[in-house]
């Protein structure tokens, strides 16, 4: 008998260009948070987990003990080419927001620099440092 629900396949949401290290990290996250991960994938259309999302999620796990779903949710582009984007916590109860382009934040993290953050409201954090890098 055919079922109307397709079984979840992690490979369907992973970028083809994901590095081996990033893939292993996502697979480990998936093993620990399987139900939350599948739920997060269902909440967003066209989930594509990229190296940039993984780098940011790993940073927040290490520095802030926040487990983020490694998918970047983009919204409207603002003036000066800065993008509004966010990442949600794996359980969906919190989020990290940013108005700085993703590639700029990733470069900042790769340089070993700490990102500044502030709480906007309960469970909503904003990345505040690297503003000067946003206009490159």
The tens digit of pLDDT for each residue in 92-128 reads 999 999 988 888 899 999 999 889 899 998 999 999 8
Q: What is the pTM of this model?
A: 0.84
Q: Which of 135, 125, 1, 112 is nearest to 65 (CA)?
A: 125
Dihedral angle of Cα 69, 5, 20, 68, to the nearest 10 degrees: 0
- Domain membership flag for residue 19: yes
Domain that holds residue 95: 12-135
**pLDDT tops 60 at residue 82:** no
Task: Report yes or no on 62 lying in a domain.
Answer: yes
Q: Are strands 95-98 and 83-88 parallel, antiparallel or unpaired?
A: antiparallel
Residues 21-40 pLDDT 10s: 999 999 999 999 999 999 99
* Residue 6, in any domain of the structure: no
Q: Give the total number of structural domains in the chain.
A: 1
Q: Is residue 120 part of a domain?
A: yes
Each residue's pLDDT tens digit, 58-68: 999 999 999 99
């Amino acid at each position: 008998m055919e079922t109307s629900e397709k079984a979840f396949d992690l490979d369907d949401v992973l970028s083809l260009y994901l590095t081996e290290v990033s893939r292993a990290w996502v697979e480990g996250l998936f093993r620990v948070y399987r139900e939350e991960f599948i739920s997060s994938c269902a909440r967003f259309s066209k989930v594509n987990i990229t190296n940039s999302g993984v780098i940011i999620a790993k940073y927040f796990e290490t520095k802030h003990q926040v487990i983020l779903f490694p998918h970047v949710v983009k919204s409207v582009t603002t003036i000066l080419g800065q993008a509004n984007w966010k990442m949600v916590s794996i359980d969906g109860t919190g989020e990290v927001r940013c108005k700085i382009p993703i590639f700029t934040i990733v470069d900042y993290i790769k340089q070993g620099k700490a990102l500044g953050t502030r709480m906007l409201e309960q469970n909503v954090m904003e990345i505040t440092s690297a503003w000067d890098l946003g206009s490159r």
